[in-house]
């Protein structure tokens, strides 16, 4: 079963902190960043890896526990073959280069998404990185690759049906237990860079009650200051989860107290 703190926000009201416990990010704008500098699109993807390093460091410094990054969607296979090939190679090289550093810094690494289209060398690298970092708890870093929110929900439903033939109904709890992110609380804060204002099939189920922050900054330019802006915006929100403002009080410690 999923721990109580990880149950759907439509089923129970989560305890809240001033700093988002879980931040999810769509890293958009690599190609446009490169184009503005008269560089090939792939140069933007390479520069985006540096932004990932900085964001991981900034998240740890600010006390974030879970960081989920959307690296490659199930729809991104529609991009030019050369760009897709480069992205896959970049993923492999980044894993091989960064996994030791992640482990040394106490970061647990996971990948969510359909790995069936990945080359064996990438599948092997992912499995090795997940195994090496499995006991780390300083930060839970998740990369969504060949991931789609609809795929996630459909896969979860199919697993429920396969394990319990003859079901006459399916509950939220059953689906929650089978989702790719069942190990994590729902994102408190969702960030998208690059100026677009949509979620693009990312964590459709899990973002039900997340706070959204959109920025025109392109992903390679994302840094700790922009992360602070997003967190500051989050801290100004009143997260009611269906309740009225009168039912909310905020303690000095920053935790939202629940009242009937």
Task: Record the tokens describing residue 127, joined without a space.
Answer: 């499995």
Rounded Cα–Cα distance for residues 149 and 212 (Å): 17
**8 A C-beta contact, residue 136 and residue 108:** yes
Active site residue 228: no
- Active-site residue, 28 included: yes
The one catalytic residue among 15, 30, 76, 158: 76
Choose among 136, 153, 128, 129: nearest CA to 207.
153
Half-sphere exposure at residue 73, Cβ-oriented, CA atoms within 13 angstroms: 17
CB 28 within 8 A of CB 219: yes
Q: How many of the other CB atoms lie within 10 Å of CB of 246?
A: 7
To the nearest 10°, report the CA torsion of 199, 114, 88, 190.
20
What's the number of CA atoms in the CB half-sphere (13 Å) around residue 47? 21
Print burial letters for 160-175: b (CB count within 10 Å at least 16), e (below 16): beeeeeeeeeeeeebb
Q: One of 28, 152, 176, 188 is an active-site residue; which one?
A: 28
Tokens of 132: 């090496």
Contact 213, 187 (CB under 8 A): no
Catalytic machinery residues: 28, 76
């Amino acid at each position: 079963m999923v721990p109580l703190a990880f149950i759907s926000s439509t089923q129970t009201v989560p305890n809240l902190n001033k700093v988002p416990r879980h931040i999810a990010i769509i890293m958009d704008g690599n190609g446009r960043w490169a184009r503005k500098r008269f560089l090939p699109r792939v140069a933007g993807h390479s520069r985006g890896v540096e932004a990932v390093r900085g964001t991981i460091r900034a998240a740890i410094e600010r006390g974030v526990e879970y960081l989920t990054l959307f690296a490659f969607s199930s729809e991104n296979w529609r991009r030019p073959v050369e760009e897709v090939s480069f992205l896959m190679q970049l993923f492999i090289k980044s894993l091989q280069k960064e996994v030791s550093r992640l482990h040394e810094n106490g970061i647990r690494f996971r990948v969510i998404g359909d790995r069936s289209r990945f080359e064996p060398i990438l599948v092997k690298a992912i499995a090795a990185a997940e195994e090496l970092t499995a006991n780390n708890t300083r930060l839970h870093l998740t990369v969504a690759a060949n991931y789609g929110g609809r795929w996630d929900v459909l896969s979860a439903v199919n697993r429920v049906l396969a394990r319990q033939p003859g079901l006459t109904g399916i509950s939220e709890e059953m689906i929650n237990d089978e989702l790719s992110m069942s190990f994590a609380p729902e994102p408190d804060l969702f960030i998208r860079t690059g100026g677009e204002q949509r979620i693009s099939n990312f964590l459709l189920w899990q973002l039900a009650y997340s706070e959204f922050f959109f920025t025109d900054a392109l992903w390679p330019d994302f840094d700790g200051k922009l992360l602070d802006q997003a967190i500051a915006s989050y801290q100004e929100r009143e997260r009611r989860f269906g309740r009225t403002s009168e039912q909310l009080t905020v303690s000095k410690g920053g935790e939202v107290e629940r009242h009937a």
